[in-house]
Structure 1
């Protein structure tokens, strides 16, 4: 019996020493790496609660950048079983910006900052999350699933099944931002335009011709943009005030050109807070020179709308704060 007790005591000492050695020196035979901290986000329409990843916005168009690292961030769109979840993984403190890129736009959805700390205890590595900050959107944490619900407003746009041949709209609390086109070193007249927050009414007329199926690259989009006083109930724009109204005309085909309107007239009458009647007959350039751009539209109803991209017909919707 004494021999058995001595043996058990001896074995206990060996076990204690073995654990001590593992704690202090050798952890090679212990596998308990927790991996990175993982965060999941569902982006929903703030009004309807509809999951907009892969439906209203394209999951392939979502991009994630990290201001605290030069390495590409680890993120993916989880689409199995129609989950449509954005998953971001990180070991280190990070300042992520999540954007949606679509044609010519690159819009911020939200910012996500996380403070992490890497720890090793009893040979086990783990990432401790000290703080999480989400900015640029309303959100809530689903305690049951651990998923952050990001709530965003949605900019409506023309759907793929709708006609683009007669698109007329005006935008409240807006103004036109006019800058030289990015590749305008060949022609200083090229302009790029965007609709941003402001104190004007911005009007947009867009026509789009799909062209012939038998001919490549013969699609043609033409636009007219201009601003008016939001307090006005009617207006007349002509050579006397085209520049003040930032009246622009342009086209997009194999090339893209925007120029200021130089001739013609635009008249409008307010019907209600949601509707104007506008007639457009404007041009820029000379008929015997290139480019000569002209837009003639009889009196049409322009309805209150939200922002859309300038050039190509955008078959989808956009998100914004």
Structure 2
């Protein structure tokens, strides 16, 4: 009887050590992309000064039959940013067209690759390009400032 108990205890210890996960729970979502649309000369946010209305933003995927892309407009505290959070959840290439009030503002190209690390999956961006517009990237907060004439 003692041998059976000893064997059961050993099996329990062996199976528990197999399930030991040093990584713990891990979730690494891809970064979202945020854009502030500003007047090139004055630096004013064009939503804040009333030039554009957030209801007139249209974002489409040029690689996917101009399918509309989901985005969020952040107006809280009059920050007025366009946020795209759907890129990079899987390995993909997107080529987006951003229009406001029937004006083409810029193109946004991303080559994203979802990878598996030692413990967590993560997104690596092979290429990020903004076309058809001048821009500045604020390296502290990651916001792209799109300069519109």
* Alignment match, 1:141: 137
How far the C-alpha of 1:141 sits from its partner, in A, is: 0.6
1:100 pairs with 2:100: yes
Query: Mapping of 1:142-157 within 5 angstroms?
Result: 142-153=138-149
* Alignment match, 1:117: 113
Ranges in structure 2 where 5+ consecutive residues have no aligned partner = 1-12
- Out of 48, 52, 57, the position equivalent to 1:57 is 52
Determine if contact 2:75/2:81 at 8 Å carries over to the other structure: yes
Residues in 1 aligned to 2:26 and 2:55: alpha-carbon distance in whole angstroms: 34
Q: TM-score, normalised by structure 2?
A: 0.76
4+ runs of 1 displaced by more than 4 Å?
11-14
Determine if contact 1:76/1:87 at 8 Å carries over to the other structure: yes
* Alignment match, 2:38: 44
Residues in 1 aligned to 2:38 and 2:113: alpha-carbon distance in whole angstroms: 30
Determine if contact 2:58/2:68 at 8 Å carries over to the other structure: no
Residues in 2 aligned to 1:144 and 1:12: alpha-carbon distance in whole angstroms: 48
Greater helix proportion: 2
Q: Which has the larger radius of gyration?
A: 1
Determine if contact 1:37/1:129 at 8 Å carries over to the other structure: no
1:80 pairs with 2:81: no
1:81 aligned counterpart, secondary structure: helix
After superposition, the CA RMSD in angstroms is 2.6
* Alignment match, 1:34: 28
Residues in 2 aligned to 1:62 and 1:56: alpha-carbon distance in whole angstroms: 12
Larger relative CO (CA 8 A, sep 6+): 1 or 2?
2
Q: TM-score, normalised by structure 1?
A: 0.37
Question: How many residues align structurally?
Answer: 131
Determine if contact 1:63/1:98 at 8 Å carries over to the other structure: yes
Query: Mapping of 1:180-259 within 5 angstroms?
Result: none
